[in-house]
Amino acid sequence: MSKRVAIVTGGSRGIGRESAERLGRDGFAVVVNYAGNETEAKAAVEAITAAGGEAIAVRADVAEVDQVTALFDAAESTFDGIDVVIHAAGTMYLAPVADIDFDALDRMHRTNIRGTFVVGQQASRRVREGGAIVTFSTSVLGLRMPNYAPYAATKGAVEAITMILAKELRGRDITVNTIAPGPTATALFLDGKDDQTIATLAHAAPLERLGHPTDLADLVSFLAGPSRWINGQTIRSNGGIV
């Protein structure tokens, strides 16, 4: 088999970016997907290649079938196959149920739910035997924090899609799991939160700190590489917060 190949959606920032660079260090050829931030995507590619790895950046809206198909086509034409898909692309909208902006809710559903179906469809058709598919949920599902109902609902859908896909790929030797991070120091998490809120969340876990993108990238690396007996699971990577 040719070199192992990973697609990382949302690979230009945050957990996706850290995961892409980690997989590059692990020896994967990496396809860094991004929706709009070409500068950061190119920086991720440069970081991977500077460390001796192989990578390309490919723009695609994860909710658009034609664009995601082209993303997978680019991976196959450049690196001759696909072994791992890390679906880290996502967006977050917070509001009390009483005050929901339904246009904002629909936009988040489009990325988080439809995007998981679109990426999952291509991954289920194209990932090679011995491969892995990893999606991202959230530990907020267990915390049940006010204002998080819109976001948590989309991630509950991600968990359902992922667990069912694991069973649908029976006999293919492809693992399918979802990672549910706790509070993690990414732009997605920090945006709009004051210092007191961040400090409160940082001390909620027994380890008394926020997660770092590297914490999640370590788990991505494990699920993408040596782990072959963890399948159909939601892994709560949150420092013990729930």
Domain assignment present for 48: yes
pLDDT band of 164, cuts 50, 70, 90: very high
Q: pLDDT digits over 186-223, tens only?
A: 777 777 677 787 788 778 888 888 888 999 999 999 99
Residue 29 has pLDDT above 60, yes or no: yes
Pairwise CA distance, residues 56 & 78, whole Å: 9
- Mean per-residue pLDDT for 4-22? 96
Q: What is the percent of the chain where pLDDT is above 90?
A: 80
CB 147 within 8 A of CB 94: yes
> Residue 42 belongs to a domain with what CATH number?
3.40.50.720
CA distance 114 to 119: 9
Which positions are annotated as active-site residues? 151
What mean pLDDT is predicted for residues 63-89? 98
Task: Determine the structural domain holding residue 40 and report its residue range.
Answer: 5-237
Total structural domains in the chain?
1
**Rounded Cα distance, 157 and 114, in Å:** 10
Is residue 242 included in any domain, yes or no? no
Q: What confidence score (pLDDT) does residue 128 get?
A: 97
Q: What pLDDT score does 199 carry?
A: 81
- 168-188: pLDDT as tens digits: 999 999 999 999 998 887 777
The pLDDT score that the predictor gives to residue 209 is: 85
In a domain, 104, yes or no: yes
Residues 91 and 116: beta-carbon distance below 8 Å: no
Mean pLDDT score of the chain: 94
